[in-house]
Amino acid sequence: MTEHTRRRFVQLAGATTVGIAGTSATALAQSDGGGEWTAAESPTDKPLNDVVDTTEGPFAIGGGGDVVGRFDDGWQKVVEYGPQARSRPLTGVDVTDDGNAIWFVGGSGVIGEYNVATKTLTNYSAPKGKTSTWEDCAVRGTAGENERLYFVNGSGELLVGDRQDSGAVKYQKVIKPGGGSTIPGIDFHSRSNGHVCSTSQYVARSTDGGESWNQIGIEFSGTSFFDVASVGQGDVNVAAGNGIVYRYDGHRWTPHVVDDGRQSIRAVDRTPDAGVAAGDGGKVYDRISTGQWERFQTPVKTKLRGVAYGTSGVDVAVGNNGEIVERVRDGTGGDTTTETETATATESPTASGAATASPNGTETATATETATATETATATETATATSTPADGASETDGTTSGGTNATIAPADRIATLPIAPQVVENYREGIWV
């Protein structure tokens, strides 16, 4: 797949280009390849919190444990109630390098994998007894072969795991890269190199696969952080409150005010040459060039929580009430002319690398949502993976040496399987050591 960060139809109302300097002016701009944002019919009215692109198209996750996918006949639920059939909210998702599987996390320690190629759902919840809410995740590697996994939670903890030759996931010792503050965003642009952002205006980078972290900012920000896009050590964006997208060039941070209304930017996804962001008020933002973003107001006014720049040519943003907005960039829609207004963004870097953005609004944003559900899980050092096809037959994959069998109760499993047998064909209990 094309190198990208974590996330890779409502009539278009207008667009605003925001640069790092300039004067206000009105111009005409053409969207790429019929790029109108339109509303899709959603299969859920629960909030959708994040979205990624895969080899089978976009998939989103959200409230009640819902996983939804975009198919030829529209969006439909792939998973309902989550991998444990306990309706825990799902908060973050990422896709493997080959695009064949998504990993997602959520409340009460929920971790799941859905292979879009084999239509297999696997439960990996509560590894090492961790049952607090996972806020986000990142994954690098090939599905089912050599994934390296990164999970962050509301306690500021990071858990790193590696897929073993046996298929089990072996986890490392839990660390706190952000000093204990909630980590709403994590993204790795390679197996070893990535970034996290925390709710305490903290951004850190790792060059050794998450084993150690160094803070790189952003002390001067004074606003909430919601998401991070890691393209390279010298190319990072942070989605923040007060309408700001922060940019890191390897030496300094620069704030770009991309929303004149100073509403929060809650999600950002990048490739080396492009990108898209989304936030409050149903607005999305195209990255035109370094430091320059184009704002699109979609007819939906809801809070958009996740966004994916589609390598297949379909961009998607998702949010409250199950809202889904899409844009097709493959050229099938023809060129569309829209009115564009150029505005000025404030950039004031200092010699030390600090920068200030003078807000003209007074928005206070909360970076995280706390799951109210609590769940006590029993931690075991090893677990057995069992595969249950849709017809109810059971197949044992194996047990680690000296381990004990640990499976979800039949009542939990049965609730998961019949949801959409044409989409979920197998259910598995994952192995972790």
Residue 27 is encoded by which pair of tokens? 């111009």
Q: Name which residue leads in pLDDT, 337 or 200.
A: 200
Indicate whether 28 pLDDT > 50.
no
- Residue-wise burial string across 375-394, b where 16 or more C-beta atoms lie within 10 A, e elsewhere: bebeebebbbbbebeeeeee
**Architecture in CATH for domain 15-375:** 7 Propeller (2.130)
CA 340 – CA 17 distance, rounded (Å): 7
**HEC sequence for 50-96:** EEEEECCEEEEEEHHHCEEEEECCEEEEEECCCCCCCCCCEEEEEEC
DSSP SS3 for 16: strand
Q: Name which residue leads in pLDDT, 374 or 22.
A: 374
CA 55 – CA 33 distance, rounded (Å): 21
Q: What is the pLDDT of residues 123-152, one digit of tens each?
A: 999 999 999 999 999 999 999 999 999 999
Mean of the per-residue pLDDT values for the chain?
Answer: 78
Domain ranges of the chain: 15-375
CA atoms within 13 A on the CB side of 9: 10
pLDDT at 49: 98
Q: What is the pLDDT of residues 231-288, one digit of tens each?
A: 999 999 999 999 999 999 999 999 999 999 999 999 999 999 999 999 999 999 999 9
Residue 6 binned pLDDT confidence (cut-offs 50, 70, 90): low
pLDDT at 45: 97
pLDDT at 80: 94
Residue 12 binned pLDDT confidence (cut-offs 50, 70, 90): very low
Overall average pLDDT of the 344-351 stretch: 39
pLDDT at 431: 79
Indicate whether 33 pLDDT > 80.
no
Q: Name which residue leads in pLDDT, 88 or 402.
A: 88
pLDDT at 329: 86
